[in-house]
Amino acid sequence: MKRFKAAVIGGSGYGGAELIRRLLLHPDIELVRVASVDFVGEPLSAAHPNLEGRRDDLRFEKLSATEAAAGCDVVLLALPHKVTAEKVAELWPTGVRILDLSGDFRLKDAAVYEKWYGARHPAPELLAEAVYGLPEVNREAIRGARLVASPGCFATTIELGLLPLARAGLLAGEVDTVAITGSSGSGVAPQAGTHHPVRAGNLRTYKPLSHQHVPEIEATLAALGAHIALRFVPVSAPLVRGIFATSFVHVDAAVTPADVAAAFAGSFRGEPFVRIPARRLPEVVAVAGSNHAEVGFAVGDPVDGRRVVTCLSATDNLIKGGAGQGIQSLNLMLGLDERLTLEDPGSWP
């Protein structure tokens, strides 16, 4: 008998697909219910062909949040921003533990949420209850959480790249970041900007300097004592999966390449899902399909008493940048080994 029962709400999208896949493999968690407004009454394989023949007893169901949570230990939400907060408010009185992949509970200030997400927060009274689900920073808090807000895909990738400098006290002031992302980050519903003929063979920016992941990155690093102003330009790339982030940080010329190397090595020692490649720099194909992140750096020569440290990081946006990290946090919430179902290395090439 498996120890815990789980339900997924919003199971027909890409994030939902990855949650379902990992839960079906999980030795300690039984997936008992998948709620969706699409594919109602149909098997999981109707939305996710890779699940053909797996748990044919499970069907997509149209359910309220409380109906989906009945008899469950945990509910995982893979819904759009603004919709999710209403579901969390409905679930909160039930006492069930909640893992949320949306941005609705990543920020603590309702006014900041309104500025960046363009709407009033539907449940501001619950913002203080949420723990930001980046295990490399908040592992112990996640263990005791009832509500975990899993970080955004860009945010995860950029934060991991900057984390070593933040912990070493070398991160402050303005930081410039360019991050390239794959099309699956836009979700399952086709849009003009993600349509294949427009995206294939193309690079283009969107939301330059105004992407909604900026405030969560700044807040996460500020909690570590690194107060920055992030100037972030996201770029749409002809990839399905993956994010590659390049961040430029100005440090004092007295900071040596050896200092930076020590900061990176020390920051991720013992981390199961963050690695510093020994003989190359990070790349997307090395982490795609896995919950692993790669980080690296390059250090420039001194100029006018300063030098630039370039922080490089790569993740799979749907796994370490999304549902896989959510499962990592879920394992911690339930007192399980955080690596369960997540240790596969992905494929090559």
Complete DSSP assignment for 187-221? -SS--TTT-HHHHTT--EE-STTT-TTHHHHHHHH
For tokens 């370039």, the residue is 310
Both tokens assigned to 349:
């090439």
The amino acid at residue 242 is G
- pLDDT digit string (tens) for 132-186? 999 999 999 999 999 999 999 999 999 999 999 999 999 999 999 999 999 888 7
Q: Where are the domains of the chain?
A: 4-151+322-333, 154-315
State the catalytic residues.
153
Are the C-beta atoms of residues 314 and 245 closer than 8 Å to each other?
A: yes
The pTM of the full predicted model, rounded to 2 decimals, is 0.97
Q: Each residue of 82-115: pLDDT tens digit? A: 899 999 999 999 999 999 999 999 999 999 999 9
pLDDT tens by residue, 216-236: 999 999 999 999 999 999 999
The Cβ of residue 140 has, within 10 Å, a number of other Cβ atoms equal to 10
pLDDT the model gives residue 348: 84
Q: What type of residue sits at position 269?
A: R
Q: What pLDDT, on the 0 to 100 scale, is given for residue 349?
A: 80
pLDDT at position 310 over 80: yes
- Of 3.30.300.170, 3.40.50.720, 3.40.50.300, 3.30.950.10, the CATH number of 4-151+322-333 is 3.40.50.720
Please enumerate in sequence order all residues whose Cβ is within 8 A of that of 108, keeping only pairs 6 or more positions apart, or say none: 127, 128, 219
pLDDT for 132 = 98
* pLDDT tens-digit map of 67-85: 999 999 999 999 999 899 9
Per-residue pLDDT band at 56 (split at 50, 70, 90):
confident
196 vs 77, 192, 199, 231, 240, CA distance in Å?
28, 9, 5, 28, 10
Are the CB atoms for 106 and 127 separated by under 8 Å?
A: no
Let me know: does 98 contact 104? Beta carbons within 8 Å. no
Per-residue pLDDT, 280: 95
Between the CA atoms of 283, 287, 292 and 295, what dihedral angle is there, to the nearest 10 degrees? 0
CATH no. of 154-315? 3.30.360.10
pLDDT digits (tens, 9 = 90+) for 317-326: 999 999 999 9
Mapped onto helix, strand or coil, the DSSP state of residue 67 is helix
